[in-house]
Amino acid sequence: MPRFSGRTAIVTGAAQGVGRACALRLAAQGAKLVLVDRRADLCDGVVEVVEREGGAALAVGADMETQDGAQEMVRRAIERFGRVDISIHNVGGAIRAKPFWEFTGEELQAEISRSLWPTLWSCREVIPAMLAQRSGAIVNIGSAATRWMWRGPYSAAKGGIHALTECLGRELAETGVRINCVAPGTLDIGDRLTARNPDPITEQDAHWRQAALDQSLADTPMARCGAVDEVATAVAFLASDEASYITGQTLFVAGGATG
């Protein structure tokens, strides 16, 4: 029997990158999918792949920076499939790379809104549904960037996700609901469907961004970028019954780097 046969999995940020890789891996192993992104149409390609292989998938458009978005995600999942067994919280990503003191107040708030609130809201709204059924597995996506330079607010947001995971692991330990975190290092994402930073990139911005990448790779013992499938493999493991005695942990999938 497939690993996730009969189970429903939510994947946020499912249109591309790590989210897309996680969704396709879970679907290939039998999960019914709820694919969440700011624009549902961006998930159409993933839905097509899943359905072509005989699986079931629902695309949901929701702003995961808001509680309303997280509530809509869970409501639609239960309405369509009746339950939520797995929830992968992947929305986030550094918008800008530069020294901390160069961020404006608005830019600082945008980084936290992008990379911390979506996971907080997702956990807040999916946990009650899992508690009601006395089972579930949550996998948050953190980052090895918690110790890397030029991404201060993003690093703080991801560090918050690591801390949230540990706290909730203890709170949920006897409920039948497990929660863990996968922290990727520098990844080769390829072309993005939507740009993280829509603003024009100045020469100084490009310099800081390259400096951030150079530092990340310099601090990665394996000296290469990771692949999204390598992250998805770890996510699927923590979401599965094979990880039934693991909760509140952060697993670094970062070529030897740690946050």
Q: Which residues have a catalytic role annotated?
A: 154
Q: Is residue 128 a contact partner of residue 241, using CB atoms and an 8 Å limit? A: no
Distances (CA, A) of 86 to 55, 98, 165, 217: 16, 35, 15, 32
Class of residue 97 by CB neighbours under 10 A (exposed 0-12, middle 13-18, buried 19+): buried
Residue 57 phi, psi (nearest 5) = -150, 145
CA dihedral 116, 162, 242, 127 (to 10 degrees): -50
Q: Is residue 67 a contact partner of residue 124, using CB atoms and an 8 Å limit? A: yes
Class of residue 156 by CB neighbours under 10 A (exposed 0-12, middle 13-18, buried 19+): middle
Distance between CA atoms of residues 75 and 58, nearest Å? 12
Quote the crossing angle between the two packed helices 67-81 and 117-133, to the nearest 10°.
Answer: 40
3-class state of residue 74 by DSSP:
helix
Q: Retrieve residue 259's tokens.
A: 């946050």
